[in-house]
Amino acid sequence: DAKTTQPTSMDCAEGRAANLPCNHSTISGNEYVYWYRQIHSQGPQYIIHGLKNNETNEMASLIITEDRKSSTLILPHATLRDTAVYYCIVRVLRTGANNLFFGTGTRLTVIP
């Protein structure tokens, strides 16, 4: 699975959009981009995933560049409860490959 690079930490004002970048320049054509987050002392939580097209769900939007070498997770209106470590993971979907490789992630702090 391709390696990802994320900033170590970011701050965001409450109510503003939080834009979390991720570089995955060695991504292969069949690898998906996943985002998980981990709120302090809890298990990671799935947020969103995508292959090529931009995706949106009730939690966030995922913007993937046309060359797929980078992506951005957007939390449209950050709240204090969004303070967490956000992990960008690139993986192939195949049987017997449910192992996720978590990097160091981005620690997002939402400021009141």
Partner 1 sequence: KAGVTQTPRYLIKTRGQQVTLSCSPISGHRSVSWYQQTPGQGLQFLFEYFSETQRNKGNFPGRFSGRQFSNSRSEMNVSTLELGDSALYLCASSLAGTGSREQYFGPGTRLTVT
Least distance in angstroms from the C-beta of 14 to partner 1: 26
Count of residues that interact with partner 1, criterion CB under 8 A: 22
Least distance in angstroms from the C-beta of 23 to partner 1: 18
Pair 100, 34: CB distance under 8 Å: yes
Site residues for partner 1, 29-58, by CB under 8 A, read: 38, 41-46, 49
Cβ proximity to partner 1, 66 vs 95, nearer residue: 95
Q: Give CA–CA dist 47/51, Å, rounded.
A: 14
Q: By CB under 8 A, is residue 7 in contact with partner 1?
A: no
Least distance in angstroms from the C-beta of 93 to partner 1: 3
Least distance in angstroms from the C-beta of 57 to partner 1: 11
Q: By CB under 8 A, is residue 92 in contact with partner 1?
A: yes
Pair 63, 71: CB distance under 8 Å: yes
Q: Report how far apart, in Å, the C-alpha atoms of 84 and of each of 1, 16, 41, 52, 62 are.
A: 24, 16, 10, 26, 17
Q: Give CA–CA dist 63/54, Å, rounded.
A: 5
Owner of token pair 């690079």? 5
Q: Tell me which residues touch partner 1 (CB under 8 A).
A: 38, 41-46, 49, 87, 92-104
